[in-house]
Amino acid sequence: MSDGGLSLDDFGDLIERPSVRIRRRAEERRARTGLAPKALGRLDDLGAWLAAAQGRVPVAPIERPRAVLFAGDHGIAHLGVSARAAGTASALVRDALEGASPAAVLARQAGVPLRVVDLSLDCPADELPDEVARHRVRRGSGRLDVEDALTAAEAERAFRTGMALADEEADAGTDLVVLGDISVGGTTAAGVLIAAMCGTDASVVTGRGGVRIDDLTWMRKCGAIRDGLRRARPVLGDQLKLLATVAGADLTAMTGFLLQCAVRRTPVLLDGVVSAACALVGQRIAFRAPDWWLTGQASGEPGQAKALDRMASEPLLDHGITVGEGTGGLLALPLLRAAAALAAELPELPAPTPPEEPSTAEPTAEEAVAEAT
């Protein structure tokens, strides 16, 4: 990145795809195990993807994964678009920090450290641990239907924060990131981004959220996404401005995080509609970046399905889980670990010994006499 203003065009040059050559070597190794082709189903593809991302054959086990959750409150929640009250995402953060949320339970069970980063929670910063609150950009994001969610300076700061966090994880040796969000109003912001990127109407991407909302709340949410779309469409050509207009600090930081993970060759497991929306913006910025990301689960949100279809990303699991917070990615992690183990540990069959060629040499005199007698 340049030292002056943030240049998103740089990502197109900095991001390379996982090694095609290494992937081919992994596939050749798999063919030598003696198992029938496609006998392991998608696990074969996952093993080859991991090998390409790691740049090695056989693939290494996933030993240092990390769950990273970006937290924020969205001003649009004051319109009653969520089943949760506006400004209450901090309560969800406390549950995660205390080990009482579904994601925290799964992370603990899988032995995965869980990191929560406050970008725009609507609570006093001193109510949270310093390692959570020290990256905060602002207290709450603006109401995307009538005002920009962030100023231009705040958007750049949030984006750079996401990049810096990706660098921290790569430098610490994290070999896989499970990405999630903790937000109130975040799925509404995600819906605006996806509808804008896919050129579709609000109703096509409006879902029921992590806590299922009733029909009246759904209609308010649909209206909020429609109004946000009117503000998003004129700035579609400038992705940083788009994020400032409708995304909020948490989604903006997640986008920067995803792109920098691709720069640093760190694989990422996406969770639900919010991370899918950020990935879709990331794809618009650098078309090779999505090759570093997998989708952990289908959340049932129509916006997520729309985004994944645009990115040609097939979820690993579909269990109807809507809770968010990285839960779907954490559930998919054992599948990815299994794929790595199979790709690395299945023994290769020895190469068949070629049959001996019959001798065409003329027999010696002694051999001819012996044969005659």
For the chain, the structural domain boundaries read 15-54, 65-345
* Distance separating alpha carbons of residues 325 and 96, to the nearest angstrom: 9
pLDDT in tens, 162-205: 999 999 999 999 999 999 999 999 999 999 999 999 999 999 99
**195-200 long-range contacts, Cβ below 8 Å, gap at least 24?**
195/225, 195/229, 195/232, 195/303, 195/306, 196/229, 196/232, 196/233, 196/236, 196/242, 196/246, 197/236, 197/280, 197/281, 197/284, 197/307, 197/310, 198/280, 198/306, 198/307, 198/310, 200/306
* Residues forming a β-bridge with 71: 118, 182
Overall average pLDDT of the 249-275 stretch? 97
The highest-level CATH class for domain 65-345 is alpha beta
pLDDT in tens, 56-103: 999 999 999 999 999 999 999 999 998 899 999 999 999 999 999 999
Overall average pLDDT of the 280-305 stretch? 95
Q: With a cut of 60, say whether residue 269 has pLDDT above it.
A: yes
Give the pLDDT of residue 369.
Answer: 54
Give the pLDDT of residue 2.
Answer: 42
Using pLDDT thresholds of 50, 70 and 90, give the confidence band for residue 128.
very high
Give the pLDDT of residue 356.
Answer: 65
Which region among 3-12, 285-294, 321-330 has the lowest average model confidence (pLDDT)? 3-12
Burial (Cβ within 10 Å: 0-12, 13-18, ≥19) of residue 346: middle
Secondary structure of the chain in HEC code, one letter for each residue = CCCCCCCCCHHHHHCCCCCHHHHHHHHHHHHCCCCCCCCCCHHHHHHHHHHHHHCCCCCCCCCCEEEEEEEEEEHHHHHCCCCCCCCCHHHHHHHHHCCCCHHHHHHHHHCCCEEEEEEECCCCHHHCCHHHHCCCCCCCECCCCCCCCCCHHHHHHHHHHHHHHHHHHHHCCCCEEEEEEEEECHHHHHHHHHHHHHCCCHHHHCCCCCCCCCHHHHHHHHHHHHHHHHHHHHHCCCHHHHHHHHCCHHHHHHHHHHHHHHHCCCCEEECCHHHHHHHHHHHHHCCCHHHHEEECECCCCHHHHHHHHHHCCCCCECCCCCCCCCHHHHHHHHHHHHHHHHHHHCCCCCCCCCCCCCCCCCCCHHHHHHHHC
Using pLDDT thresholds of 50, 70 and 90, give the confidence band for residue 211.
low
Q: What percent of the chain has pLDDT over 90?
A: 84
φ, ψ (nearest 5 deg) of residue 188: -70, -45
pLDDT in tens, 8-24: 999 999 999 999 999 99
Give the pLDDT of residue 214.
Answer: 85
367 in active site? no
Q: With a cut of 70, say whether residue 3 has pLDDT above it.
A: no
Give the pLDDT of residue 315.
Answer: 96
Give the pLDDT of residue 120.
Answer: 97
Average pLDDT of the chain to the nearest whole number: 92
Q: What percent of the chain has pLDDT over 70?
A: 92
Burial 109-143 (b: 16+ CB within 10 A, else e): eeebebbbbbbbbbbeeeebeeebbebbbbbbbbb
- Choice among 168, 325, 345, 366 that is catalytic: 325
Give pTM, 2 decimals: 0.91
Give the pLDDT of residue 126.
Answer: 93
Interhelix angle 102-110/327-345, rounded to 10 degrees, is: 20
Using pLDDT thresholds of 50, 70 and 90, give the confidence band for residue 350.
confident
